[in-house]
Structure 1
Amino acid sequence: MTQGDAELVVLAQAGDAAALGALLARHEAAMRAVALSVLGYGPDAEDAVQDAMVVALQRVGEVRDPNAVGPWLRAIVRNNSRTTLRRARPVPVAEPEWFAGPSDTPTPEEALDRGAMRDWVWHAIGQLSPTDRLVTMLRYFSDASSYEQIAAVCGVPVGTVRSRLNHARRALAGGLRTAATAAHADVTASNDARWREGRDVVTLAMNGDFDKVVRESWWANAEMIVPGGPRGGPELAVAGMASDLAAGVRTRLRNVVASGDVLIWETDLISPPDDPEHCPPGALWLQMLRKGRVRQLTLFHPVAAREIRQPAPA
């Protein structure tokens, strides 16, 4: 007997990835029709559909009317398609009329961490190729989520970012369609450990001991890259932190995303009171690991210091 939409939604909200896969397969044609009606034939329409599948992974637990999941999925695609036309918001969101999320909307990572399917999701992300996994983590779990920002962080053309994301989304969506019901490793413990490590490093850095952190957790030949800026080794990172401390800049860990040998920290940068625009409001630390030690750090500012305040027109 074929299961109805409502039953599949309930199962998906309980953590059954195969049920969500069945829902997406059932409604994929209608979702694609919506994208084509707004965007016409082309890669943008396929992007809108694949993005909607990732959004469904993140937000299926927030569907209040299981019988309305079809319109909910189509609304996500419609919003994604309109966003593509406007190019105003880089990350797709789903806000159909019957969806009323909390006033403080969770990040995609927070939504997944609260959802029962998070273990399957992170298992699936971990199965992607290193390049596909990196762009997926940046796109859906960081502030550097636009194609242009991802291209800057990864040092590749925007077209390459689009290609890798398309491949990753297809892999994730295909995995959902054939999802096994077997349990996957609980990611909570490893995620908590990464948070503790990050907080410990920031605490040491704020106490002037960042050089010790680098000696203990970086390879001696590690590379530091600042897109559009300097490039060097561990000494560049130590000098940069020392310069920030001397200027009175404080750093606070805000987000941690990890999978395999990719570790992302997002930090708030707090400028000194007497120079409130000294630095950008935040930084993304993309750390590529080898045997648990940093082999490459890319330091990226999603918002540049010069963009914090624009001069008033004359």
Structure 2
Amino acid sequence: MTAFAKLIGQQQAVELLTQAVKQNRVAPAYLFVGSEGVGRSLAARCFANLLFSHSVETNRLRQENHPDLFWVQPTYQYQGQRLTPQEAAEKKLKRKAPPIIRLEQIREVTQFLSRPPILAPRNVVVLEQAETMAEAAANALLKTLEEPGQATLILIAPSVESVLPTLVSRCQRIPFYRLDAVSLAQVLRQTGHEEILQHEAVLSIASGSPGEAIASFEQLQVIPNKLLQAVTTAPKTYLDALKLAKEIDDLDTEAQLWLIDYLQQSYWQRSHQPSIINCLEQARKYLLCYAQPRLVWECTLIAMKN
């Protein structure tokens, strides 16, 4: 179906979803599983348009503000407001902890589903990065999944293991895969990002994910070249490690997490040292657990010291 015309390299997912609609066997909930940036969110929007295709007002089907579509993203808490990553970036906020889907957002989903659809045959709720839900939020969502009413919910996550088993058991899984080199290049050209094809390091980090390639290229522009050059060589002294950790600490969390990916690629290509790769991976885990970033980098760089 033409609803998925822009989705490249995910034939299995397209077939499963289109057949569900053709056979009138749409599930109450789906779990779109796969790496970030391979088309899961685009597929969710395409699927929503397909589900809405019987709406009377067809001219409104593809608008972002369709009254029967509720889209949930992880958010930051800032001065009593919830901000999406894009909104936080526009305000140039320094973010030290990753965004999460909050309990109050799930309550808003419940409120949205408490009324019948307005234009379409059903309501559609999409939860991006469902793996970021805290336990309370996940438990609240579980109640909604048990009785969704006239609705289809789509959870987007990197893996089955990243979501609570009780949620997984109530969803039909739709797998998404990393793209081959030809499909990746096609997506980047179609979206106006052909320049990225000239950056081998970025493509290596992306590993078949157009979204990750674009995000990685954007991060590359943000981090100062001097800092990037400094971190690609292990510090020679403890003082060098401490100074470098201080500079890295000035970056927001997303940039620091990207820097770990970049360093892992860089060190592996040059020296194939598993110990350094593992050390950086441990740093990633600490950052994701809200450890103090400067301390994490101090310990990491000292461990990597020549």
TM-score (norm 2): 0.26
More strand by proportion, 1 or 2? 1
Task: Between the two structures, name the one with larger relative contact order (CA 8 Å, sep ≥ 6).
Answer: 2
TM-score (norm 1): 0.26
